[in-house]
Every structure is written in C-alpha cells, then in structure tokens.
Amino acid sequence: MTKNAPFHRRMRYALSGIRHALTHERSFRTQVAFAFGVLAVLIRLQPGWLWTATVLGMIGLVLMAELFNTALEALSDGLHPEQAEFIRVAKDCAAGAVLVISLAATGVGIAMLADRLPRFW
C-alpha cells in the first residue's frame, strides 16, 4: 500500500515511474532530449533568474504532461484493451494536453530568446 508509505518508498515508486517512461516511451525520451538541449541554451545564455525559473518550470510541466499521458495510456489499455471510442478520445485529449503545454513552452523559449538576443529580432 502506497498511501501512507514512508517518504523514501514513495520516492522509489515515483522514480520507478520515470524510469519506466524513459525505457518504454519514445515521446518521453524525446521530451527529455529537448529538455537537455534547452538546459544547454540556458547555461550558454545565462538569461537571469526569472527567465531561468520560467523555462525550468515549463520543462517540468512538459515532462509532467508526458508522464500523465503515459499513465493514462497504460491505465486505459489495461482496463479496456480493445479499441473503444471513449478510450481513443481520452488518449487523444491527453496527447492534446502534451501538445498544448509543449507549444506554450516553445512560446516561452521564443520570448526568452527575443528578450535575451534582441539584435536577432
């Protein structure tokens, strides 16, 4: 039972979920690769604390959305393995959520670059 498990055990469960997504989900690995690229840009540009916090927050939100999408897919496939319309809709909406936050993160990145590198705009 995980509800009132000690913190270290709950942390192990969370890390296990992340490890599963890294090893089984191409989309999550792609988002992690983009995150490392964005981190490299942050290190290079040193945009200031506010931009850094905003970009790091967006990275966290994108990865969180991918993990929720993975969880929803695993749950729906396990509970209802045949292709039902309501399962397709749920999966499509979860994928849409990942797309929305990814586009928002891209917008934040573009705004940061525009602010940090005005000579290019």
Catalytic choice (25, 66, 82, 85): 66
Classify residue 34 by burial, with Cβ atoms within 10 Å: 0-12, 13-18, 19+: middle
CA 19, chain centre distance (Å)? 14
112 closest CA partner among 66, 68, 55: 55
Residue 85 annotated to the active site: no
Q: 3-class DSSP state for residue 18?
A: helix
Between CA 44 and CA 67 the distance in angstroms is 28
Q: Which residues lie below 8 Å from residue 41, measured CB to CB, with a gap of 6+?
A: 109
Q: Which residues are catalytic?
A: 66
